[in-house]
Structure formats: structure tokens, C-alpha cells
Structure 1
Amino acid sequence: MDHVHADDRLAVIDVGSNSMRCVVYERLTRSPVALFNEKVLPGLGRTVEKTGRLNPDGVRLALDNLTRFRRLLEAMQVRRVDVLATAAVRDAADGPAFVAEITRRTGFTVDVLSGEEEARLAALGVLSGAPDADGLAGDLGGGSLELVLLEKGQIGSQVTTPLGPLRLLEATEGKAGSAAKLIDQHLGKLDWLAKGKGRSFYPVGGAWRALAKMHLEQINHPLHIIHQYSVDGSVMAEFAGQVARASRGALEKMQGVSKRRLDTLPLAALVMERVLKAVQPSRVTFSAYGLREGHLYDLLPAEEQQMDPLLTGCGDVAARIGRFGHAEILSAWTAPLFAGEDPAARRLRQAACLLSDLGWIEHPDYRAEHAFLRILRMPFAGVDHGERAFLAACVYVRYAGTLEGAVLAPARGLLKENVLARATMLGLALRLAHTLTGGAATLLQRTSLHLGESILTLALPDDAAMLTGEAVQRRLDALAKALNRVGDIRIQPGA
């Protein structure tokens, strides 16, 4: 099962202190797509602090589910399975016996990660989803907390600490005051944490994702996607403190609370609060990418690691769904309308070109709506919530010709008016391009746009004059109006 080719399916099973998750990926790529994703909560680490051994009930549950996963992966024709075990298995006296039993029952080889390796892979996961991450990454598992300094995309100082909520629950019997002192003692030994002040903190791990989900619900954020959800540091510290000190009854009434995490959620929130108090980051930006994604990223050749995850992901979608594969030509064709754009804006324009044919297979009356919602919610990496909304709005306009419609409310809540105006211009340009040529790249290459002071000119060679018509003129006029210009079609003899 270990030999794998570039297009083979592979799986990563993460055996954590609280949860265990099996994820099957379509193939090893810069923007991996999950085909199957299942989590169980054995709570292996619930007894490690007091007894030094794994939770016996958790061991049975984990082994049963690993056996099940083996059978499923065989049926899915998964060629490679990587099993990664973390703090509980690493620290428990019976960890080696548990690993041996996994291999006996399933044939899986288990890689028991050191604390340093766990921290490194978690940091790589953050960087795989946000290549320019700068600040401090924190991965909270059931048994440990890994902290890693990120220096503009590079890994710096790192540490693993026994501050997972299961460990804290055993060590302090759930007493918040005692837990806070223990957390502060460990954090106080790390003088390099001060380097995170005024930068970003990137939380990783299921418990902290649950905290993000609660905050999303509380403020009625327009987009319920945790990856790259960003909050002011002091605001998140205050919210985490409220959750840490809330009664069980109060937590049960909160929106977005997972009942399976009620026992450990207050301590997870307390760790978040104490870390934010110690580090004082300007922003907290949650990452849905962690250990598993970091492991996949680590398997990639160096040149693939350097690829843009957003453009790679959009390119993969276009290759599967699009019809003509002409995004580079579209990008060059629309460029004259956006002279002086910065690299970030150009990157988003390229992504919009890749996604611009996404809705062709839908019913014409619903193409705009379906494409908008799909892009807004698609599991892209390398993109924040505002950028998601921009891309979705562009493609909505490409199909609808307008930014009117109730479905657009999430985008309007995430974008400023000037950004919405840019989305409209790009969407109208894409709409014109597809109408003019039916999406055929060879035709589009023979036409061009010219932005003058008062006129937007669409230039065509004389042997392509038949491409013009009432629909083309209307869409040129709509684009010109958005640019405060008049549209003009110019036939160039001999061109």
C-alpha cells in the first residue's frame, strides 16, 4: 500500500490525544482535495497524566476504527496510508504496545512523532494554507500545545508543551485557577514569544476551530468558513476568557458548541486566552490546515511547495470542470483594464479568470447563483474571506451582468464599495470575453481591449468582424459604463 504514483489516492490518519481522523486525498498536490474525511473521539490521552497509560476504552475504540478504516481504504483503492501518532501515544508507557497492536491488526506502519516534529508539521500546515504567514502558530491537541514562530513564511523557534486540555483536566481537576497558573508557568519560560507581539497568531486544532465556530455564530459573520477567519487579538482574548469561565449550562446554550467538546472546551479556551495575553498579537487568524496538511506539504518536491495554493487550486477546478482552458489568455486580455494593479490584485484577477467558466454546466437561470455560492464556500487555501467574496462576486457578474441579488449579501458584508466596483468591472470583462468568442481561446487572442480617456475600444481583425453583434455591443457598453467610458468596436483592416 506504500508505493504511490503522482495520481494515486493517499490517506493520512492522525491518531491524536483526543480525536482520531482519517482523510483520503485525491492525489498528492499543492492543493489537496479530500475525498473522504471521518473523525472519531477515542480520548486516548484522558488517563495519561495520572496513570501514565492510554485510556483503555479509547484504545479499544481506536483499534476498532482503525480496522474499519483499513477496510474502507482498500475498497477506495488508496495506495498509500500514512499513520501519524502524537502526544498521547508518544508519552504513554503502553504507547509502543498500542502501536504494535495497530500494525498487527491493520498492517499500518505508525510514525510516532516527536514533539519537535509535531510542531514542525503543524507549522508547515499553516504555511501550506497561508504561505506568507508571519507571527506565531499554535497547535492545540488533546495532550499538548505546540508553538512555532513564523518569520514571513519561514519556520523559527518552536516548542512543545504538555498543555492540551485533556492533560490540564487531569492535572488540575478542571480548576481554572490552577490551570491558568500551570499554563502561565510554561509560557513564562519562553522569552521568544515576545517576538509575536503585534503580529498574527495562527491557531490550529479541533478545539480551537470549535472556538472559532462559536465566535462566528456569536457575531453572525456572513461566511461560516473557519480557514483564514481573522479576528482582532484583544477581541478573541476577551471571547476566549468568557468561554473559559462559562458554566456548562451556559456553554450548552451557546450557538455552535459541539456537545462532544463540552468537557474540554473551557480549558482549550483558557489556553487560548493565556497565550494571547502572553503574546499580544494584533490578529488571530484561524487555520484549518494543520498536521495532516503539513505532512502532505512536506512530501512535495521543493518546486511544488513554492506554487501558489490558490492558483493551483483554481487551476485544478478549471481542469476538472472548465471547457476551454484559456485562463492565461483571459488574464492577458483583461490586463489593460487594470493598469497599475499590485501583485495581490493581479493574483486575484488570475484566479477569477481560472474560475470564470465554472457555471457552464448549470441551468442558465441558476448559473450565477450556483457559481457564486460554490466559489464562496470552496475549500481553497491561500485566500482570506474577503478575497473569497471578491472571486465569487466576479464570477456572479460574469453570468448575471450585475451585482444585484439577495444571494450576494455575504459578499457585500465582506467587501468595501471600491472592491465591489473592481469585481463588477472584472466580471463584466469576463462576460464580454465569453460572449465575444464563446470561450474559444484562439478567437480571443485575435481581439483586444484598449482603455482610452473617454472610450473603451474593442479591436478585432477584419476577418473576425462577424463576431460582433447586438449581444457583444450590449456587453461592451455595460463594461464601458462601469469604467465611465463609451464603448466602441473597431475593425482593423489587415490585422
Structure 2
Amino acid sequence: MKRKVGIIDIGSNTTRLVIYVQPQKGVPFKEVENIKMGVRLRTYLNDEKIVSNEGISLLIDTLHNFHSLLHHYKVTDITCVATATIRQAKNKEEILHIVQEKTGFTLTLLNEYEEAFYGYTAVTHSTDIKEGITVDMGGGSTEITYFRNRELIEYCSLPFGSLSLTLDFVKGSVPNDEEKRQIRQYVRAQLEGVPWIFNKTVPLIGMGGSARNLAQLHQHLINYPLSGIHQYEMDVSTIQEIKEKLKSLTLTELQKLEGLSKERADTILPSIEVFDILLEESKATQFIISKKGLREGILYNKIDKQDDSSTSLVDIGIEEIIYDFHINIDNSRQMIKIANVIVEQVNKINKMEGYITKQDRMLLEQASSIFHLGKYLNEESSSHHTFYLLSNRSILGLSHRERVKLALLASYKGKRTFRQYIEPFKDWYTKEEQKKMCLLGSILKVAQSLNITKRNVVDDIKISSKNNGWVMDIQCHGDYKPEEHRMEKQKKHLEKSLKISLTPNFNR
């Protein structure tokens, strides 16, 4: 039975509803609806810290719209949370009461720790980063955490966000040099009370709309060859380059930039100043973007309380792909078994112990599980579809570099197509890494050949060296002729990679 969860996030800048569905137990939740309304509740918070009636009415109208969607999707498990603006409002109790009375939603007001904790949870449940600083810049506050060995060590909530900085410091449509200086001065003053941020020399992980827009903007500026921003990595110097490109643009010109949301055009420049300062003061090693944030943190926390799973992030991502493409699990297991046996035999006979590492073996198993999944779309262009789908699909726990590597192996057809696929990314990998990927890919081609009928007829494989060549003794049960025929056509890949001649010897 499908499990559905709805999460409403009432932020200072936007109010958003996300609906997640778990198709069946053991399968990851998928986002099926994501509706954002640019309420900008912060603009209705006056100097006396009162949210005006106009702002409350706009919020209620938005929640009524969300209620209709939740009813349409038949979602009953609903979490509705609010952050900085309502948290800071003197009439917050009144707002909570009105929301309950007018919409039926029980509004939970997140405190500073909870908001920071959910952001940290989102990062540690969707990346394999062991130590880092997270920064979640909303419209009215900025939550920062420091984690080590994936455990939360420090947290803080700073009283500014992308929208509040814009409202407090920018008089025109975009900040001038003096206003930027004032923003930087203010942010640095706020950081003085948070000494644990300084000189950490760990990755800075950005989440929230400002961070996502910054990543999308950078991807368009450099014509990035992949889609998706989760675990997108930028050098620290990148921020300075973006600032230089944007500093002379008008609001109208910013609104026309590819990758930048029109409604964030007026707040992106103050946001960049904050990221720049945090990167500088923390001595960050790199800037990594997490697409997962507060809402996913709430979801993960909800799941953790009900499901006890020790499955790795990457394995969860692979399981999701297997489910989405209806991949034959028995065939995947046989592919993994054959590939592992070949690796062991190749290592032994070629004295390559240590060349194919434990990490390589894990990658090989992952690629075995989803090898040529593109055939479920089109058999003739299976390799092409496989590479495109995997290289452009966010997979939990994998960086973009690792994702492309997985795509190259799972789509392996031969060295010619490998060179075509890797062309936009060839600077990401050394020649030795590319050589090893071709070897692993050729092992997968052989493994596929030895189960071409998907009947799991191969029981064992032994490789020996004879007469300046290799003999592969393949023990089978049942009819192995289709596998034998396919093996004769595909063994060339392994022969070229290892520079040997290979004689398959099938027997029962």
C-alpha cells in the first residue's frame, strides 16, 4: 500500500507544499508534487514585529490552496511547520490559532535548534560527507551547523536571511557597493558570537533557495554538461567569479539570467555576500550544494522513527533505480556474481592484487545491478539511454564525478562509445582511471554475455594461463549455447583491455 506524506513549509520568503509517496515498503519516498507560492511573509512583519492582517489573509489563502491539493492526492499524514518570520512575530499565537481555525492545519512553530537540526539531518541522510558545515539561508534567518563523523556538534541560528537583508539594507532594486559593504559588516558582526565556524577547513554545504539558485546560475554560466544540483561542487574561488559577473547587472538583467529564479533576482546578491563571508571565515575546502533541506530533514526524521534500515545511501539509490525500471533482480545478482568471480580470477592470474580496489569492486557491483537499464526504453540504443539517464539522475551518496563514473560503467558498450560519453568529462579523470573503467566495463560485458538468456546457467568460472593465452573454463547447468555464442562475440572487450587472447571453454 502506498504511503503518502505532505509537508508544508511556511518560510519568510516562500511557502511550499511538497508531497512524497512511498510506492511500497522498502522503496524510497519520491517527490510527486512541489508547489511554491511567493508569499514573502517577511514583508508583512512590521517594525513592531507584528504580522499584518493582510499577510495573515494571504497565508490563509495559500494554505486553502494546499488543502485542495492534499485532498486531491488523498494525503492524511500532513506536517505543517513555520520558521523565522512567525517565530519572531509577537502575534504568533494568534497566527497559529487562525491557521487551525480557518484551515484545519496544526501549525508547528520550529525553534532555532529544530530548524538547524532538520537541515543537518537532510545533508547527512542524502550525502556521504563525514564532516562539514551546513548553511541554510532562508528569507528571515540563517541556520548553521557543524558536524563531524556525521554527528551534530554545533548549531546556531542567525537573525538574517536573503529577504531580510534586502529589506533592511537595500534601498533600490539591487544593492550598491556601499550597501554591500554594510551587509558584509553586519554579517561579520553576527558571526563574532559563533567562534566555532572559523578556520574549520571543511566543506561548506549550502541548502535552501538561495544556494540552489546560485548553483543553477553557475551551471548555466559554465555550460555544465549535467543536470541536477544535489552534491554539485564549486571551488571557493567560484563565488568571486560569480560576483564579478553579476556586479554591474540591473534587476531586469538579473531576472533574465538563465538558472536564476525571477523572484529571487532581488535577493541573490545579498545572499552571495553571506556565502562569500562564510567560505572565507571557515576556510572552506569547497562549496557543495544540497538539494535536500528542511522539508527532507523532517521527512527523514519521520521515516527514521518508523523504519530501521542500515542500508547505505548509494544502495538505497540503486534500489530505487531497480524499482523504477523494473529491473530483474535475479539477473542483477547473477551479473554481480559473475563479475566478482572474473575480477578474482583476473587478479589472481594477472598478479593484479590491489589494482582493482575495494572501492572499484563496489562500483562494479553497483553497475552490474543496473547494467544497460536503458534497454527498458529502447533495446537498440540501450547504452546511450543508460548513460544519459544515470549521468543526469541524482543518486544519494554519489558526487557528480562518481555518478558519471557509474554511468560510464553501467552503459559500457566498447571503447569507442566510452570515448564519446566521457568526452565532456575527460578532465575529471586521469588516463589510468579511464583505463581501469574500460577494464571494469569489459568485465561487465563478459558477465552480461554469460547470462544473456537470464536463466542463470553459469555456476562457476576458472581462468588459467596456457600457451601465452588464457583459458576460461565455464561450468554450467542446462543449455549454455546462447551464452557460448554471445561470449565468442563479446570476449574481445576483455582481450583488448588485458592485451591477451581468451579461449572460453564451456562444459557441464
User: What TM-score, normalized by structure 1, do the two folds share?
Assistant: 0.89
- Tell which deviates more after alignment, 145-154 or 326-335: 326-335
Aligned equivalent of 1:483, options 498, 504, 508: 498
What does 1:24-423 align with in structure 2 at a 5 Å threshold? 24-27=19-22, 31-48=28-45, 50-54=47-51, 57-173=54-170, 175-194=179-198, 196=200, 198-240=201-243, 243=246, 247-248=250-251, 251-252=254-255, 254-301=257-304, 304=308, 306-326=310-330, 327-335=332-340, 336-337=342-343, 340=354, 341-398=356-413, 402-404=416-418, 409-412=423-426, 414-423=428-437
Q: In the alignment, which of 418, 435, 447 is matched to residue 433 of structure 1?
A: 447
Q: Which amino acid aligns with 1:360?
A: K
SS at match of 2:456: helix
Moved more, 260-269 or 424-433: 424-433
Instruction: Report the 3-state secondary structure (helix = DSSP H, G, I; strand = E; otherwise coil) of the residue aligned with 1:345.
Output: helix
Paired position in structure 2 for 1:13: 8
State which drifts further: 311-320 or 239-248: 239-248
Deviation at 1:87, TM superposition (A): 0.9
Mean Cα displacement is larger for which, 15-24 or 54-63? 54-63
The size of the alignment, in residue pairs, is: 485
Give the whole-Å Cα distance in 1 for the aligned partners of 2:98 and 2:278.
37
Deviation at 1:34, TM superposition (A): 0.9
Q: CA deviation at 1:253?
A: 5.6
Quote the Cα distance in structure 1 between the aligned partners of 2:225 and 2:20: 29
Report if aligned partners of 1:244, 1:270 keep a CA contact under 8 Å in 2. Answer: no
Return the alpha-carbon distance in structure 2 between the equivalents of residues 57 and 458 of structure 1. Answer: 79
In structure 2, the CA distance between the partners of 1:420 and 1:21, relative to structure 1 (3 Å rule), is farther
Determine what percentage of the aligned residue pairs are the same residue. Answer: 22
The Cα offsets for residues 305-325 of structure 1, whole Å up to 9 and x where unpaired, read as 642122112112213423420
Residue 467 to residue 242, structure 1, CA distance change in 2 (3 Å): closer
Q: CA separation in 2, counterparts of 1:39 and 1:136? A: 27
> Contact 2:14 / 2:38 at 8 angstroms: preserved in 1?
yes
Greater shift in the superposed pair: 474-483 or 288-297: 474-483
For 2:273 and 2:295, how far apart are their aligned partners in 1? 25
When residues 56 and 209 of structure 1 are mapped into structure 2, their CA distance, relative to the original with a 3 A threshold, is farther
**Greater displacement, 38-47 / 151-160:** 38-47
Deviation at 1:484, TM superposition (A): 2.3
Q: Which moved more, 1:60-69 or 1:266-275?
A: 60-69
* CA deviation map 1:244-267 (0-9, x unaligned): 675435534644222211111111
Aligned alpha-carbon RMSD (Å): 2.8
In the alignment, the residues of structure 2 paired with residue 212 and residue 12 of structure 1 have an alpha-carbon distance, to the nearest angstrom, of 24
Structure 1 runs of 4+ off > 6 angstroms? none
- Secondary structure of the residue aligned to 1:274 is helix
What one-letter code is carried by the residue in structure 2 that aligns with 1:419?
A: E
Question: How many Å apart are 1:409 and its aligned residue?
Answer: 4.2
* Structure 2 stretches lacking a partner, 5+ long: 172-178, 348-353
Question: Residue 443 in 1 paired to residue 449 in 2?
Answer: no
Equivalent residue letter for 1:438: I
Measured after TM superposition, the shift of residue 149 of structure 1 is 0.3
Question: Alpha carbons of 1:301 and 1:249: their partners in 2 closer, same or farther (altered >3 Å)?
Answer: closer
Tell me the secondary structure at the aligned position of residue 403 of structure 1: helix
Could you tell which deviates more after superposition, 453-462 or 168-177?
A: 453-462
8 A contact 1:455–1:480 mirrored in 2:
no
CA drift of 1:304 comes to: 4.2
The CA distance in 2 between the partners of 1:245 and 1:112, in whole Å, is: 40
Residue 351 of structure 2: aligned partner: none
Asked if residue 474 in structure 1 is aligned to residue 479 in structure 2, the reply is: no
Distance 1:451 1:232 in 2: 48
Are the equivalent residues in 1 in contact too, given 2:228–2:393 (CA < 8 A)? no
| More divergent stretch after superposition (479-488 vs 463-472) | 463-472
- Deviation of 1:357 after TM superposition, in Å, equals 4.9
Asked if the contact 1:141–1:165 (Cα under 8 Å) also holds between the matched residues in 2, the reply is: yes
Inter-CA distance 483–53: structure 2 relative to 1 (3 Å threshold): farther
Q: Which amino acid aligns with 1:332?
A: K
Q: Secondary structure at the match of 2:442?
A: helix
- In structure 1, stretches of 5+ residues that fail to align are none
Where 2:153 maps in the other structure, the secondary structure is: strand
